[in-house]
Amino acid sequence: MDVVTQMQRQLLQYTSSLFKEGFLDDQFNQLQQLQDESNPEFVVEVVTLFFEDAERLLNELSKSLEQESIDFRRVDAHVHQLKGSSSSIGAQRVQRVCIAFKNFCEQQNVEGCLKSLQEIKQEYSLVKTKLETLFKMEKQLFAAGGSVSR
Amino acid sequence: MATTKFRHVFGRLWGFATSCKKRTTSSSNSIGTRILQRDVEKEEFQFASTLCLSSYYSVFVVRLAIMVMLAILIGLLTILTWHFTKIYTTKSLNSLAYDLRYELLQRPILRMWNILNSTSEITIAQVKLSQYVIRSHGNLTTQEDQVEMYEAMRAVTWALFASRKALNSITVKYNNGFVQAFHRDIKDNNTFYIYSDLANYSIGASGYNSELNYSSLSSQESSWNDNDNKSTVWYRQPLDPVTGEKIEKAMQIAPEDSIHIAGLSQVPDGVASWRVAVSKFTDSPLLSAALPVWDSSNKSIVAVVGVTTALYSVGQLMKELVELHSGHMYLTSLEGYLLATSTDAPLLDNSTQPPKLKMAVDCENEVIRLGAEYLRRSSGNKFPPSHEVHVANVRLGHDRYYIDSFFLNLKRLPLVGVIIIPRKHILGQVDERAFKTLVILISASMCIIVIGWVCILILTNGVSKEMKLRAELISQLEARRKAEASSNYKSQFLANMSHELRTPMAAIIGLLDILMSDDCLTNEQCATVTQIRKCSTALLRLLNNILDISKVESGKLVLEDAEFDLGRELEGLVDMFSVQCINHSVETVLDLSDDMPKLVRGDSARVVQIFANLINNSIKFTPSGHVILRGWFENPNPCSDNANFLMEEKKLQYAQKTIRAKQHENHAKRTSERDKKAVLWFEVDDTGCGIDPSKWDSVFESFEQADPSTTRLHGGTGLGLCIVRSLVNKMGGEIKVVKKEGPGTLMRLYLRLDTAGDATEQHCLVDIANNGLVVLLALHGNMGRSITSKWLQKNGVFTMEASEWNGLTQILRELFHARSSAGINNGFDVHYPIPESLKSRLLSIQEIRNPVFVIAVDIGLLDLSTDIWKEQLNFLHRYLGLAKFIWVLNHDTSNTIKLELRRKGHMMTVNKPLYKAKIVHILEEVIKERNHEMQKKNMDELHESDYTHCDAASSDDSDISESAPCNPVSSTEKFEQFDLLSRYRINNCLIGLTDEHSEVKTPRKEDSCQNNHNSPKSMSAEQAYFPREAHQGEDSERRGKEEHRIIGGLARPANGKKSLEGLRILLAEDTPVIQRVATIMLEKMGASVVAVGDGQQAVDALNGMLGVEDFRRDSNLNERNTRSSSPQTEILSSPSYDLVLMDCQMPKMDGYEATKAIRKSEVGSGVHIPIVALTAHAMSCDEAKCLEVGMDAYLTKPIDFKLMESTILSLTRRTTS
C-alpha cells in the first residue's frame, strides 16, 4: 500500500508540475473529468488521437514549408487544426506556438514559419514525452492496484 | 524699351516658375487632402512627405536658378545695349570726324598749293616780262639806255609785285650784277625798293656779261657774284605800298641785308628752281622760286628772277582753322622740316647762324612734337610717297588724339600735312555719354537684379512658408496618425486583454458554480463561495464593459440588424429589474405608448444593453421611489389621433421644455424621414439623487461619475453611460440628461431604428374597450398604478385605484354593496369616509350595464408578516363570484401563499411589474372567458373546469408554467398564445447563462442568471411546479414537457437527470481530438451525438442522405461513437437532429458554407435547426460572420463544458415547441 501511495503522490506531483510548467492547462482537467466508467481510457485515447493528428499535421507542415512556393493558406489551415486539437487536450504550449505560427503565416514570413515549426516540433515532442510518462505512471499505478485520485 | 522687353521676359519666366510650383504644390496638396480624409498607410504617408519635402527643395533650387538667370539676363542685356550704342555712335562719328579732318587739312594744303601756283605764275610772268623788256631794249649802248631799261623793268616788276599781296619779294638780278628788288615786310607792312648802286656797273661789264660764254659762266659766276656782293652798295627805299611812290629817301644798306637775292647759282641749268629758304629777317620760312631770263637768242642768261613767298599765310590759315576746331596742324617737307604750324611756336632754330628750319620732332609745341615722333615711330624716317596715315586713337601725353597725315606731292617740293585733333573734341561728348550710359545701365541693371531678387525672395518666401507649413502639417499628421495608432494599440490591447482575462474569469465562475453545486460545502464556505461568485461576476461585467468600450472605440462594434420585438425586450428588462428592486423600495415601471412599433430591426442585445445600463444606473442611485422607462414613437407622418396620454402628460409636466424637445424631435424627424427610419424616444426617469447640471455632459465620458464619492457608495467604474452613449450614437440617436422637476434624473434619448413592416399599426387592443370592464387596481406602487390606470382609462376601461388594504376593502364594499347583499361583516371592515371623487366614479360605474369587474390585487397589500393574510384572502374570496381577481405576485412570494391562492381557485396570477402586455393578456382572457361563459350559459356546468384552465393559462404568464388538466382544444390554443411570452422569460434565463461567455451580454441577463443561482426561492418555485407536469397528454406536447424537465435539470444537475437527455446532436468537426472531446462531453450531458468529418457530410446527414453505414465508413470515430452511445438506435430510427455543432474551418466544405447550404434547404419547410458554430477564432467579426450565414450561436475552442451545455439548452429550448 505504501508503494501505491508513493506512486500516487509521485503522479500527483508530476501532474501538478506539468500544469505549473505550462505544458498543460485547464482543458486537460476537463478531459480527465470526462473520463469515467463508461470511457475508462478516454484521456489516453484522446491524447493518442492528438499525437496521431499532430504528427500528421507536422509532417504536412514540414512538407508544405519545404516547397519553393509556399501555400500559406494551406499552412495556415494545418496550423489552425493543430491549434484546435492542441487546445482541446490542453497542450497550451503547443497552442501558443501555434498562435505565433499563425501570425507568421498571415505575414507570410517564411523564416518565422520555419522557426515556429521547429518550436512546435520541440514543444510537441516535449509534451508527448511528458504525457507518455504520465500515462506510464498511471498505468503502473493501476497495475499496482491504486486509483488516480482527483 | 530694353527694360520693358526684359520685364516681359522676366514676367514669363516668373509665370513659368510659379506654374511649376503650383503644379508640384497642387499634387502634394491633393495627396494632403487624401491624407486628411482617410487614414492612409504609412508608406503612402512617407511618400507624400518626401514628395512634399523634395518639392520644397526643388522650389528652393528653382528660386536660386531664377535669380541666377535673371542676373545673367540683365547683365547680357546691359552689355549688349551699351555695346550697340557705343559701336554705332563711334562708327558714325568716326566717319564724320574723318571727313572733318580731311576737310580741315585740305584747306591749308589748297592754300599752299595756291601759294605755290601763284608764286610759279608770278615768276613765269616776271620772266616773260623781263624778257620782253630786255629784248625791247636790245642794244644797251649807253648809260641812259640802261637806266631807261632798268626803269622799265622796275615799273613792270612793281606792277607784278603790287598785284600779288602775298609775295614777299621779287628780285631781279642782272648779269652785270645790278639788283632790283621789291620787298614787302609783312610785319611792318612796309614796302621797300632795294637796288644796287648803278654807278658801279659799267656797260662793259654788261657787255662782258653778254659776251660771256655760257660754258664758262658757271666757273666764274660764283666768285664774281660773291665778290660783287661784298663790294656793291645797296639802297633801300621805302615805298608807298599802294602806289609805289617813293616816300622816303633811299638808305644805304649792306647787300643782302634784308632779303635774299636769287642769283645765277640758283638756276645753274636754266631750269626753274624751288626751295624753302630762311630769311634772317622773318621768323617764317620762305618759299622762293628762281628762273633765269634768257636773251633773245636764248643763248645767255640775262638776268635771274627770284620770287619769294612767305608761308606765313598758310600758318595763319591753319591758326584760324585750328581756332575753330582746336587741335594742331603742321606742314613739313619730306625731310621733316616744319613749314607751317597752327601754333605760334617758332619754326626756325635761332640758335644757329644762319637760322635753320626746325625739324617737326624738335618743335616747341609738345603735341606737334609728340605727334611727329609718333608718326616717325610708326612709319619710320622714310616717309613713303603717297602714304597717308589715319590713326584714330593715339595717346599723346595725357590726351588722346586723331592723327591724320596727307602727302602733297609737289614737283621738287613734296609736302606732308599732318593734322592732330584731340579726340575729346570730336568724341569727347560721345565718350562721356557712353561712359555715363554705361554707368547708368550698370547701376540700373544692378538695381533691377537686386529688386528682382528681393521680389523673388518675397514671392517665394510665401511659397516656401506654405511649403514649410505643409511639411509641418504632414509631420503633425504623421504624429497624429502615430498617436491614433498607439491609441488603437491601446484599444486593441484592451480588447485583447479583456478577452484574455475573460477566459480565466469564465473558468473561475464555472468552477465556482461546480463548487456551489457540490453539497459538501459548509454553510460558511458556501457563503464565501457565493461572495466570490458575485465578485467574479462583477469583475466579468467590468471586463465586458471595457471590451465594449474598446470595441466601440476601435470601431469594431458591428451592430446586428435583425427583427425583434422591442416591447417584449423591454418588458423582459423591466421584469428583471423589478426582481432586482424588490429589496429596495423602488418601483420599476414600463410605460410604452400604444403607437410604439411592435417589431423593429436592429441589434436587440445592444438596445437592451442601453436600457439595462440606464435602468441599472437609475436603480443604483435611487434608494426609494420609482424608475420609469417611457417610450414613445415619433411618427414620421404626424397624426394627432396617435397622440398618447403620455405625451399629453409630458406636455403638462414639462410645458416649458417641450418646445425645445419638440425642436429636437423635429430635427430628428426630418433626418428620420430621410432615412426611412423610425425615431423612438425613450426616457428613463428616476427619483434618485440626481445629477448636478454641470455634469450633465461629462457623465457620458469614460470613467466619469457625477460625484467621485459615488464610487465609494455605489461602486461602478463609470463606464456604463459611456457605453450607452456610444451605442446610442451608433444607432443614430442621441442621449442627454434633461431637466426634471423634483428630485432625480431624467435621461432622454432617441434611437433610430428600422421599423419592420407596417410599424405604426395599432396592435391588438382588440376589444378591451366597450366591454363594460371595470378594473380595480389595488397596487402598491403609485407610479405604476397611476400609469396603468390612465392607460386603461384611455382605452375605455373604467378603473379605480387603491393603494392599500383599507382602500381596497372600502371600494369593494361600495362596489358590491348593492349586488352582494350578503352582509359582509368582517374584522377588516373599517369604515372610512369615501372621497367624493371615488363616489362619483362609483356612481358612473353603476350606470354600466352588465359590468365585468376585474380586481388586480398586489400581494403586497396583504399583511404577509403575520398570518392575517389568510383572513384577508378569505375576505376577498367572498367576492370571487362577483369579480375576477388577478393576483400580482412578487418574485419572492412564498409558496404557501401561492398554494393557498391556488387552493382557493384564484388562478390568475401575474408577477410584478404589471405592464401593458400583461394587462392586455389578462383582460383579453377575461373578456373571452365572459363571452364563453355567456355562450355556454345554458349548456352545462362545464364552464367550471374551463374556468380553471383559463386561469392556469393566464398564470403561465408568470413563470409558473403549469399545465393543469384541461380541454385539449382550448388548451393548445391558449398554450400557444402565452407560449411566446413564457418562452421568452425562460430563454432570458438561459441566455443569461450563456452570455457570460459570449460577447453579447447585458448585466440584466447576468442578473437574471444570478438570480437563478442565488435566489433559491424563485428556483424552488419553478422546480416545485415542474415535476407536477406529469400529465400524459398528446405527443405534440411531450417535447415541451421534456424541455421543462431539462430546465429543471439544468438548474440543479444534481437531481440525477442529465441536462441534454434525449437530444440528438450532429457534430461536424474535422479535428479528431476535438471531435472526440466534444462527443464525450455531449454524451456526458446525455445527448446522443453523431460526428461527421466535414461540412458536406453534415449537410448530407441533415438531408437524410447519409445512411448509418456511411457514418461508420466515413469515420472511425463515428464507430467509436456509435459503439459507445447508447441512444444509437434512436438516431438510426429518426435521423432528425435537434442541433448541429459546426466547426467553422473544415476541409471540403467549411462551416459557413455548410450552414448556408443547410439554411437553403430549410427554406420553405419551416424547419429551423439550431446551428452552433465552433471556432478557434475568438474575434467578434467571426461571430458576426457566423451569425450572418445563419448560425444561431457561437462557441469558441477550447470547448467549455458549461458554456456548451447552456448554449445548447437555450437553443433547443427555443426552437422546440
Residue of A nearest to B1081 (CA): A34
Q: What does the mean pLDDT of chain A come to?
A: 82
Does the beta-carbon distance from B1072 to A84 stay under 8 Å?
Answer: no
Chain A CA closest to residue B1126: A38
Least confident of B786-800, B814-828, B874-888: B814-828
Contacts of A34 in chain B (CB under 8 A): 1077, 1080-1081, 1084
Interface of B with A in 1159-1188 (CB under 8 A): 1176
* B577, B608 Cβ separation under 8 angstroms: no
Mutation target among A51, A88, A89, A95 for the B interface, most CBs of B within 10 A: A88
HSE at residue B229, side-chain half, CA atoms within 13 A, is 16
Query: Is residue A96 scored above 80 in pLDDT?
Result: yes
| Nearest alpha-carbon partner for A89 in A48, A137, A138, A142 | A48
CA distance A106 to chain B (A): 14
CA distances from B797 to B30, B174, B654, B845, B853 (A): 69, 186, 27, 10, 10
Q: Which of B1074, B1084, B1147 sits opposite A88 (nearest CB)?
A: B1074
Spatial neighbors of B1132 by CB under 8 A, at least 6 apart, are B1108
Does residue B116 surpass a pLDDT of 70? yes
pLDDT of residue A27: 80
- Is pTM beyond 0.90? Reply is no
B1099 membership: H or E segment, kind and range: helix B1095-1102
Could you give the dihedral angle defined by the CA atoms of residues B82, B83, B88 and B91, in that order, rounded to the nearest 10 degrees? 120
Q: Are B995 and B1006 in contact (CB under 8 A)?
A: yes
**Is B423:B400 a contact under the CB 8 Å cutoff?**
yes
Mean predicted confidence (pLDDT) in A119-128: 88
A87·B1080 Cβ contact <8 A: no
* A66 Cβ neighbours under 8 A, 6+ residues apart: none
Q: At what angle do helices B968-995 and B916-935 cross, to 10 degrees?
A: 170
pLDDT value at residue B831: 47
CA distance B1170 to B1140: 6
| Cβ contacts of B1071 on chain A, cutoff 8 Å | 53, 81, 84-85, 88
Check residue B1181 and give its pLDDT. 60
Q: Are B573 and B1004 in contact (CB under 8 A)?
A: yes
Kindly determine whether residue A87 and residue B1077, on different chains, have CB atoms separated by under 8 Å. Answer: no
| pLDDT score for B828 | 44
How far apart are alpha carbons B214 and B93 in whole angstroms?
62
Q: What is the reported pLDDT for B554?
A: 66
Q: How many Cβ contacts (< 8 angstroms) between chains A and B?
A: 63
Contacting residues for B539 by C-beta, under 8 A, at least 6 apart: B505
Residues of B in contact with A43 (CB under 8 A): none
The crossing angle, in degrees rounded to 10, of helices A92-107 and A110-144 is 170
Q: Cβ separation of A53 and B1077 shorter than 8 Å? A: no
> How many Å lie between the alpha carbon of B628 and the closest alpha carbon of chain A?
45
Q: How far apart are CA A98 and CA A96, in angstroms?
A: 5
Q: Is B682 helix (H, G, I), strand (E, B) or coil?
A: strand
When pLDDT is cut at 50, 70 and 90, the band that residue B1038 belongs to is very low
Q: Does B1077 touch chain A (CB under 8 A)?
A: yes
Smallest Cα distance from A3 to chain B, Å: 30
Quick check: A84 and B1077 CB within 8 A? no
What share of chain B in percent tops pLDDT 90? Answer: 0
Contact between A83 and B1176 using a beta-carbon 8 Å cutoff: yes
- Which range has the top average pLDDT, A35-44, A55-64, B709-718, B1125-1134? A55-64
Flag whether pLDDT at B1037 surpasses 60: no
Q: Is the pLDDT assigned to residue B980 strictly greater than 50? A: no
Contacting residues of B for A78, CB less than 8 Å apart? none
Q: Which cell goes with B925?
A: 382572457
Q: Which cell numbers in the block locate residue B21? A: 510650383
Q: What angle do CA B493, B496, B502 make, to 5 degrees?
A: 130
State the average pLDDT over residues B110-133.
81
The mean pLDDT of B579-586, rounded to a whole number, is 70
Confidence of residue B821 (pLDDT cuts 50, 70, 90): very low
Q: Where are the alpha helices (DSSP H) in chain A?
A: 2-20, 26-34, 42-66, 72-89, 92-107, 110-144
pLDDT one-digit tens code per residue, B58-67: 777 887 888 8
Peptide bond into B354 cis (omega under 30): yes
- Report CB contact under 8 Å: B1201, A45: no
Measured distance CA(B324)–CA(B479) in Å, rounded? 89
Range with the lowest mean pLDDT among A17-21, B148-152, B178-182, B963-967?
B963-967
The reply to whether residue B1176 touches residue A80, judged by beta carbons under 8 angstroms, is yes
Residues linked to residue B630 through DSSP beta bridges, in sequence order: B591, B683
pLDDT at position B350? 63
Predicted pLDDT of residue B470: 85
The better pLDDT of the pair B110, B265 is held by B110
Q: Quick check: B1080 and A52 CB within 8 A?
A: no
Instruction: DSSP for A75-98, please give it.
Output: HHHHHHHHHHHHHHHTBHHHHHHH
C-alpha cell at position B597: 412599433
Q: What is the pLDDT of residue B222?
A: 39
- Measuring CA to CA, which residue among A70, A73, A65 is closest to residue A120? A65
| Closest-approach residue (CA) in chain A for B1174 | A84
Q: Are B1071 and A85 a contacting pair at CB < 8 A?
A: yes
> Taking CB atoms and an 8 Å limit, are B1197 and A46 in contact across chains?
no
Answer whether B503 touches A (CB < 8 Å). Answer: no
* B1074 touches A: beta carbon within 8 Å: yes
Instruction: Quote the CA–CA distance of B357 and A68 in Å, as a whole number.
Output: 119
Task: Give percent above pLDDT 70 in chain A.
Answer: 95
- Letter string b/e over residues B238-255, b meaning 16 or more CB atoms within 10 A of that residue's CB: bbeeeebeeeeeeeeeee
Q: Cβ A26–B507 below 8 Å, yes or no?
A: yes
**CB spacing of B1197 vs A77 below 8 angstroms:** no
Name the residue type at position B414: P
pLDDT of residue B1076: 78
Best CA proximity match to B960, nearest among B1036, B899, B1033? B899
Are A85 and B1074 inside 8 Å of each other by CB? yes
Contacts of B1147 in chain A (CB under 8 A): 77
Any residues with CB less than 8 A from the CB of B799 and at least 6 apart, and which? B774, B775, B776, B777, B788, B789, B792, B793
Q: Could you say which of A39, A46, A77 has the minimum Cβ distance to residue B1073? A: A46
DSSP per-residue codes, B1004-1030: HHHHHHHHHHH-HHHHHHHHHHGGG--
Three-state secondary structure readout of B524-556? HHHHHHHHHHHHHHHHHHHHHHHHHHHHHHCCC
Q: How far apart are CA B1055 and CA B1205, in angstroms?
A: 16
pLDDT at B584: 66
What distance in Å separates the CA atoms of residue B795 and residue B790, rounded to the nearest whole number? 9
Beta bridge partners of B798: B774
Chain A contact for B1072 (CB, 8 A cutoff): yes
Top-confidence residue, B555 or B534: B534
Q: Per-residue pLDDT averaged across B992-1019, rounded?
A: 40
Q: Which residue of A has its CA nearest to B1147?
A: A77
Say which DSSP state B262 is in.
Answer: P
Distance of CA B627 to the CA centre of its chain: 51
Mean pLDDT of B999-1005: 39
pLDDT at B1034 (0 to 100): 41
- CA distance to partner chain A, nearest, from residue B1127 (Å): 14
Chain CA centroid to CA B584, Å:
58
**B1047-1079: pLDDT as tens digits:** 333 333 434 456 777 788 888 887 777 787 788
Chain A residues contacting B, CB < 8 Å? 26-27, 30-31, 33-34, 36, 38-39, 42, 45-46, 49-50, 52-53, 77, 80-81, 83-90
Q: How far apart are CA B1214 and CA B1217, in angstroms?
A: 7
Task: State the smallest CA–CA distance between residue B1193 and chain A in angstroms.
Answer: 19
Query: Averaging pLDDT over each range in B43-57, B955-969, B982-996, B1001-1015, which range is the top one?
Result: B43-57
Which chain A residue has the Cα nearest residue B1084? A34
CB B334 within 8 A of CB B383: yes
C-alpha cell at B837: 371623487
Give pLDDT, residue B129: 83
In terms of average pLDDT, the best of A140-144, B412-416, B937-941, B1025-1029 is A140-144
Question: Are A34 and B507 in contact (CB < 8 Å)?
Answer: no
Q: What angle do CA B99, B101, B103 make, to 5 degrees?
A: 65
pLDDT in tens, B322-355: 777 677 878 777 777 777 777 777 766 666 566 6
The radius of gyration computed from the CA coordinates of chain A, to the nearest angstrom, equals 17
Burial (CB count within 10 angstroms: exposed 0-12, middle 13-18, buried 19+), residue B1187: middle
Q: Which member of B1077, B1197, B1199 has the closest CB to residue A46?
A: B1077
Q: What is the pLDDT of residues B253-310, one digit of tens each?
A: 766 655 667 666 666 666 667 777 766 666 667 777 888 877 766 667 777 888 887 7
Nearest to B737 by CA among B726, B748, B729, B722: B748
Looking at chain B, which residue has its C-alpha nearest residue A76? B1145
- pLDDT for the residue B118: 80
Q: By the CB < 8 Å criterion, does B499 face chain A?
A: no
The rounded distance, in Å, linking the Cα atoms of B204 and B227 is 17
Q: In this structure, how many other beta carbons lie within 10 angstroms of the beta carbon of residue B558?
A: 16
Stretch A108-127: mean pLDDT:
86
Q: Which three cell numbers stand for residue B103?
A: 576737310
Please give the share of chain B, as a percent, with pLDDT higher than 70. 62
Q: What does DSSP assign to residue B816?
A: H
Closest partner residue to A27 (CB to CB) among B1071, B1080, B1198 is: B1198
Q: Answer yes or no: do B1176 and A89 touch at CB < 8 A.
A: no
Q: How far apart are the first and last CA of chain A?
A: 18
Average per-residue pLDDT for chain B: 68
Mean pLDDT score, B443-467: 84
CA distance to B28, B682, B758, B1076, B1121, per residue, from B596 (Å): 53, 11, 11, 50, 52
Contacts of B166 (CB under 8 A, 6+ apart): B115, B118, B309, B310, B313
Nearest by CB to residue A46, choosing from B1070, B1076, B1145, is B1076
Residue B546: exposure state from Cβ atoms within 10 A (0-12, 13-18, ≥19): buried
Residue range B490-519, pLDDT digits in tens:
767 776 776 677 777 777 887 888 787 776
Three-point CA angle B296, B299, B303, nearest 5°: 70
Q: Using an 8 Å Cβ cutoff, are B695 and B629 in contact?
A: no
**Residues β-bridged to residue B330:** B341, B418
Residue B763 three-state SS: coil
Nearest to B724 by CA among B753, B747, B707, B708: B747
Tens digit of pLDDT for each residue in B832-864? 455 566 666 666 666 666 677 788 888 777 777
Degrees to nearest 5, angle at CA B592 with B586 and B593: 140
* Rounded alpha-carbon distances, angstroms, from residue B863 to B197, B622, B828, B889, B892: 200, 25, 12, 13, 15
Mutate to test the interface with B, among A49, A73, A89, A92 (most CBs of B within 10 A): A49
Give the residue, B594 or B656, on which the prediction is more confident. Answer: B594
